[in-house]
Amino acid sequence: MTMDSTTMGDAVGSVGRSMEMIEEGMAVIDLAGEKVGTVEYVQFGDPEAGTTEGNDLERPAGGFTGGFIGEAAMAVLGDEREPDVEEPLRSQLLRYGFIKVDGSGLLDKDRYVRSDLIGNVSDDVVTLKVSKDDLPKED
């Protein structure tokens, strides 16, 4: 099903209240009750965004020029952008809003949950409308 901007705007607006209740560290469980992990990052959507062009920070050709502290931060934190997935999924996540879920296992990759796939938020638990296996993994 494709969504026009009006339909998408309605979908984004209807889950906005749930997204506002989500905080880092909350447990995330899927439709079957299986633990997916914990909320690592929350990004509210921009239904008017057509693409991600202009939203990424660019590094100068010679590398990061933030001095010693900036270079140290890049070494520790990496040069990642969120969400770290390929297009067109990246643009879709930015339009809808998403949460990044830190995988529950040591070898589990982080996953992304589009805001309209969030079913319920209560008692420090985010319950999803989909299975864990239906969620895109970080690249």
Asked if the model's pLDDT at residue 52 lies above 70, the reply is no
68 backbone dihedrals φ, ψ, rounded to 5°: -60, -45
Give which of 44, 135, 124 is closest to 82, Cα–Cα: 44
Q: Which residue has the tokens 């560290």?
A: 25
82-97 pLDDT, tens digit each: 999 999 999 999 999 9
Q: In the 8-state DSSP scheme, what is residue 71?
A: H
pLDDT, residue 51, reads 55
pLDDT, residue 63, reads 43
DSSP letters along 67-78, please? Answer: HHHHHHHHHHH-
pLDDT, residue 72, reads 53
pLDDT band at 80 (very low <50, low <70, confident <90, very high): low
pLDDT band at 71 (very low <50, low <70, confident <90, very high): low
Q: In the 8-state DSSP scheme, what is residue 137?
A: B
Contact between 38 and 25 under an 8 Å Cβ cutoff? The reply is: yes
6-35 pLDDT, tens digit each: 444 444 444 567 899 999 999 999 999 999
Angle, vertex CA 74, rays to CA 88 and CA 79, nearest 5: 10
pLDDT, residue 74, reads 46
The residue ranges of every structural domain in the chain are: 5-48+81-134
Which residues have C-beta within 8 Å of that of residue 79, sequence separation ≥ 6? 59, 64
- Percent pLDDT > 90 in the chain is 54
- CATH topology for 5-48+81-134 is SH3 type barrels. (2.30.30)
Q: Select the more confidently predicted residue: 104 or 131.
A: 131
Q: Which residue has the tokens 């995988």?
A: 103
pLDDT, residue 100, reads 97
Which residues have C-beta within 8 Å of that of residue 41, sequence separation ≥ 6? 24, 82, 99, 100
pLDDT band at 68 (very low <50, low <70, confident <90, very high): low
Contact between 84 and 138 under an 8 Å Cβ cutoff? The reply is: yes
Average pLDDT on 37-53 reads 81
